[in-house]
Homo-oligomer: A and B are copies of this chain.
Amino acid sequence: MSANDLAAAPSLLLVDDDAVFRGVLARALGRRGYAVSEAADVAAALALAAANPPEYAVLDLKLEHESGLPLIRQLLDLDPETRILMLTGYASVATAVEAIKLGATHYLAKPVDADQVLAALHRTEGDAQVPVGGDPLSVERLEWEHIQRVLADNDGNISATARALKMHRRTLQRKLAKRPVRG
């Protein structure tokens, strides 16, 4: 990439607590002509964004001990034009709905590659020739979605969620630790 390209490179803020993943994605995006800045938590992300509001942002939903959701609002407060992509390895309909309503541009489940990230960030709204897929959810997937929904209803309180679901707290913990299955 030349110095000219650098000068014109659109800024992109990448927030993820997984250093390895973050590094790989940052490098891939940099190679594609973006000026990437990285942060591992909400505080660091806000510091970077306050100093220089990015044009694009890629946020991990599940950071070390906090949620990336509030960042959506805060980034949009700094610059309403920011295009935000929510990214997570623990995707669910419940959190997707929440993210989009908060103003995220798109929402993707990990794993993703840099091209998918960029496609999601640039996608113009509206052209919704969506799949409307064929097969119903697997029981496992359905359970995951339901758990996420109830968990959101209970503000992330695991004990309360376990009670509401009539399952053991320990079991719920274990289920949450696992990644959602596809399908």
B143 contacts A139, C-beta separation under 8 Å? yes
B91 contacts A93, C-beta separation under 8 Å? yes
B150 contacts A136, C-beta separation under 8 Å? yes
- Tell me the bound Cα distance from A118 to B102 in angstroms: 21
The yes or no answer to A22 lying at the interface (CB within 8 A) is: no
Main SS at interface, chain A: mixed
In the complex, the chain B residue whose C-beta lies closest to that of A105 is B101
The yes or no answer to A56 lying at the interface (CB within 8 A) is: no
Contact of A139 (CB < 8 Å), options: B93, B102, B146, B183: B146
Contact of A101 (CB < 8 Å), options: B90, B100, B142, B143: B100
B164 contacts A94, C-beta separation under 8 Å? no
Q: How many residues of A contact B (CB 8 A)?
A: 48
Interface-centre pick from A95, A96, A125, A143 (highest chain B CB count, 10 A): A96
| A118-134 Cβ-contact flags toward B at 8 Å (1 or 0) | 00000001101011111
The yes or no answer to A147 lying at the interface (CB within 8 A) is: yes
User: In the complex, which residues 138-171 of chain A have their Cβ closer than 8 Å to any Cβ of chain B?
Assistant: 138-140, 142-143, 145-147, 149-150, 153, 164-167
| A60-75 Cβ-contact flags toward B at 8 Å (1 or 0) | 0110000101000000
Q: How far is the CB of A2 from chain B (nearest CB, A)?
A: 33
Contact of A137 (CB < 8 Å), options: B90, B96, B102, B133: B90
Question: Within 8 Å CB of A166, what residues of B?
Answer: 138-140, 183
The yes or no answer to A98 lying at the interface (CB within 8 A) is: yes
Contact of A165 (CB < 8 Å), options: B62, B100, B138, B165: B138
B135 contacts A98, C-beta separation under 8 Å? no
Contact of A134 (CB < 8 Å), options: B90, B134, B145, B147: B90
- Tell me the bound Cα distance from A139 to B134 in angstroms: 23
